[in-house]
Every structure is written in structure tokens, then in C-alpha cells.
Amino acid sequence: MYEIPAQPASQSKAVLKRIMNASDDQTDRIPLRLLCFIGMPVMISRKHRRLKESAIVANGTTAFIIGFVPPIRESMYHVKTIEAFTVKEVHQLPELILVRVHECEDTMANGYPPGVIGIPVLNEQIKLSKFKNVPRSSIT
């Protein structure tokens, strides 16, 4: 299992550490960490700006994770054990999360097999109004 935390776009790493476990209601429904594994089913709930021209990818599209670009190597994570699970905490965001769309045999992106697309990093600003003394932050 991989844990991919959000990364601050500015020098606000201390702020990010303080809010890492915040609920989605406190972060404008933007998750601050992704817990995932290869083969995990996912549902696309927000269409990325770079995927606007893809008619197949829309809110509610189901797929499963098949990999990352660049591939996650041992030097890019450290291992921690939580209860009985081994979690690889990734230090650097992958550029793309590769997903295979269910029941799709169309070539959706050049250089990838049919049905496979790369979901790019989403860069969003969130207003942290429910936290005291925490300024607005930009998080990737």
C-alpha cells in the first residue's frame, strides 16, 4: 500500500503537517493524502483540466490503478507499519497515476495501451477557514 501525501506549493510545510489529518469538510473536500495500491478500484470524481477533451473520462468514471509515472522506487519512500499493514510513504508526488478505465478498449492517450490514461497531479488552493491561525495555503 502506498501513502501519497499532498505537498505544499509554497513554504507552508508546517501548516500542512498541522492539518494532514483534517476531515474533507475542513479542506473543501480536497483530500490531503492518498492511500492506494496497484489494482485498487477508483472512481473519478473531479475531471482534471488536462483531460477535458476526453469524453470517456467524466465524473463517475470507474477505473483501477495500474501504476505511476515515474515508477515509485525504493529511494522514493520509507516503510512504516500500521497495525498489520505495511505502508510505503512516498516522499515525492508521481507526475501521473496510471489508471485503466473499466470496459474501455479505446486508445485514450498516445503511448499507453487501450483504456489506460494518466491522471496528472491536481493543484488546488484551499481555504482553511475552520482552523485557527492557519493562513490560506496552496497544496498539490
pLDDT at 104: 82
pLDDT of residue 34: 80
pLDDT for the residue 120: 80
- Check residue 65 and give its pLDDT: 94
**Kindly report the CA angle at 55 between 64 and 43, in degrees rounded to 5?**
25
The Cα–Cα gap between 7 and 16 comes to 8
* Under 8 Å between Cβ of 60 and 46: no
The per-residue pLDDT string of the chain (140 residues; one tens digit each, 9 = 90 and over) reads 888 877 766 656 666 666 666 666 666 666 677 888 999 999 877 666 666 666 666 677 889 999 998 888 888 888 989 888 889 989 888 888 899 988 888 877 778 888 888 888 777 666 655 555 555 555 55
pTM of the model: 0.69
Per DSSP bridges, beta strands 85-90 and 2-5 are parallel
pLDDT of residue 68: 92
pLDDT score of 110? 74
| 8-state DSSP, 27 | G
